[in-house]
Amino acid sequence: MTPDVSVVDGVPVARDRSPLLLRVAHVDQAASVLTESDGDLWPAAWADDDALYTACGDGTGFARHDWRDIVVNRVTGTPREGLRGERLSAGDAVAPAWDPERFNRKPTGMVAVDGDGDGRDELYLAVQDLRCGAGPDTFNEAPTATVCRSDDRGLTWTWPAQPLFTDHVFTTVMFLDLGRSNGGSEWVYAYGIDGNWRTSFSHVVPDPTQLFLARVRADAIQDRAAWEFVAGTEPDGADGGLRPVWSSDVARRVPVLEDTRRFYPTPALGFSACDFTCIAQGGVVWNAGLGRYLYSTWSEYTFEFFEAPAPWGPWRLLHSHDFGHFPWHGPRSPLAKHGGYAPTMPSRFISDDGREMWLQSNWFVPASSRGGRAYCFGLRRVRFDPGTGQEPPRPTAPSENLARSADASVLVPRVREGGEHVLNDGRRDVAEDSAYGPGSGEDVWGIEWPSPRWFDRVVYVPGPQDSLGGWFASSPRVEVRRDGVWHEVAATVTPPYPTDWTALEEDEYVFDLDAQCADAVRIAGEPGGGMRYTSIRELEVWFRGAS
């Protein structure tokens, strides 16, 4: 079904403002499409020549030599057919360093738009000054930002005589990705973060928890006086929603999204940073197939995804993916698993129905890991599927294992070795667990489908013996999901679950329940042991038709 969309202030706005409900939300455990490139960040724009233009920091880009703190590149091709890249310009030819003794240049956003009406896109690149050097505040402060312009598709660049943003205000600038050539809009929208591009580990500036929104005419992007900022909202009489109030005074700005959650409150072994926020440099893209704006961001060890019907909101958390703390494994490892930073989902690679996207993100610690480097322009598949189909009739015969259905997807808390396939690979001789987690909250192991299924039995096969954890400290409960809401259901478990290390002595636990029709099922409970984790070899879902 095509989303019902209107155009407000030059951008599409979904008429349906209710939360986007997903039946399948899947993020690959590691980058699966790699390129011969070097660098990080990679904000990108889809231009009128059908190429993706992207800038990287601290690398050589699509070249083998000549390291620079900023490099502009051109990428053609697709993730499935292959990507090709070339380096266009770098260093002083791209952007100024306003305080080169203490700060270097980092790209944060890019947009391609025909603002001068000559029938050819210009490129605009947002660049911030980020603290460098050997002190404790390195990478922890971004006081200044500007926007550079290219009229020849990335070969040469110009910039204003002064920075556009100073005093740590709106200094991580991320242009909204409306699609090819800015979606044809005469307005360019940009999201901004104050102080730093992510959690400031040294606390030289406050950790970012607020995301702000601005706009500017496409023919005036480098004119600071032309920028307007969301200063509030007012009722929109046309459809009962809210629309933004704009102000040219940046001091009047109010956040369109605020998230004060903290992730991983204690440091991982050998890594002092902890207690991360998740408002950070990433990207916001219009997904026409889903009729939603998606903000992809991160919190050191997790990816966080938000959705909204309009650029100004209301923004809601859509999905979280937890990779656990280090060690991670590189993308060419047999057990690849790694998160990364500055995640973006370029509109160039979104499927027509909006359900398949490709996420770009980088990982530097360590830059060269077992199984290859993730410090490059690399992509991983993301599947956000609202699903189709109504409740099917109750089957008249027992089913095969529904967890093994071709369209089944797994639900995991985090997996130590990245082997989420263990849940439904049909084997009981390989296991995974949720170790390397934050040490709080519950674990869940589950299966979801893009349409409802009938089932009345769940079989949980735990992992191997371990003295540090692997079992549930509370008897695992069974929950099913209907219309986006999880419900606990009564179940009889055989044998009874002991909630201590002896739980790992059993080959399987069979949960029998009244027949359910739902699009997902999971077992959930508190992880046990000194390291607080649970283990699994297999999760099976059956319809026996006995109740």
- Residue 367's pLDDT is 66
The answer to whether residue 258 is domain-embedded is: yes
3-state secondary structure of 421: helix
**Whole domain around residue 63: which residue ranges?**
5-345+358-364
Per mean pLDDT, which range of 331-335, 420-424, 526-530 is the poorest?
331-335
Domain identity same for 324 and 471:
no
The model carries a pTM of 0.97
Co-location of 35 and 112 in the same domain: yes
Give percent of the chain with pLDDT exceeding 70: 98
Q: What DSSP line would sit under 29-96, residue for residue?
A: SS--B--S-EEE---EEE-TTSPEEEEEEEEEESSSS--EEEEEEEEEEETTTEEEEEEEEEGGGT--
Tokens of 308: 């909204």
Residue 295 sits in the same domain as residue 415:
no
pLDDT beyond 90 at 368: no
Average pLDDT of the segment spanning 330-359? 96
Please tell me the predicted confidence (pLDDT) of residue 316: 98
pLDDT at residue 361 greater than cutoff 70: yes
Per-residue pLDDT for 29 more than 60?
A: yes
User: 294 and 409, same structural domain?
Assistant: no
In this structure, the answer to whether residues 265 and 412 fall within a common structural domain is no
Whether 335 and 446 share a structural domain:
no
Q: Which CB contacts under 8 angstroms, 24+ apart, belong to 261-264? A: 261/299, 263/299, 263/300, 263/301, 263/302, 263/438, 264/299, 264/300, 264/301, 264/325, 264/438
In a domain, 379, yes or no: no
pLDDT of residue 546: 63
Residue 388 is assigned to a structural domain of this protein: no
Same domain, 18 and 166: yes
CATH number, position 25: 2.115.10
Instruction: Please tell me the predicted confidence (pLDDT) of residue 222.
Output: 98
Q: Which residue has the higher pLDDT, 138 or 439?
A: 138
Average pLDDT over residues 394-419: 95
**Residue 467's domain is classified under what CATH number?**
2.60.120.260
Is 218:124 a contact under the CB 8 Å cutoff? no
- pLDDT at residue 241, as a whole number: 76
Q: What is the mean pLDDT of the chain?
A: 95
Per-residue pLDDT averaged across 115-120, rounded?
96
Residue 293 and residue 407 in one domain: no
Residue 392 in any domain: the answer is no
pLDDT given for residue 250 in this prediction: 98
Given a cut of 70, whether residue 239 has pLDDT beyond it is no
pLDDT of 253-266, one tens digit each? 999 999 999 999 98
Higher pLDDT, 334 or 539: 539
Count CB neighbours of 245 within 10 A: 15
pLDDT, average across residues 310-333: 94
Q: Provide the number of structural domains found in the chain.
A: 2
Q: What pLDDT does 547 receive?
A: 53
Q: Are residues 109 and 205 in the same domain?
A: yes
524 pLDDT exceeds 80? Answer: yes
- The whole-number pLDDT of residue 370 equals 74
pLDDT (tens digit, 9 = 90+) per residue, 246-297? Answer: 999 999 999 999 999 999 998 887 788 899 999 999 999 999 999 999 999 9
Confirm whether 350 is domain-assigned. Answer: no
Q: Let me know: does 379 contact 31? Beta carbons within 8 Å.
A: yes
**Same domain assignment for residues 279 and 163:** yes
Whether residues 91 and 194 fall in one domain: yes
Q: What is the token pair recorded at 128?
A: 């911030």
Q: What is the pLDDT of residue 517?
A: 97
Residue 383 lies in a domain: no
pLDDT of residue 173: 98
User: What is the DSSP secondary structure assignment for residue 534, as one 8-state letter?
Assistant: B
In the 8-state DSSP scheme, what is residue 112? E
Are residues 294 and 438 both part of a single domain? no
How many helices and strands in the chain, by DSSP H and E?
A: 0, 35
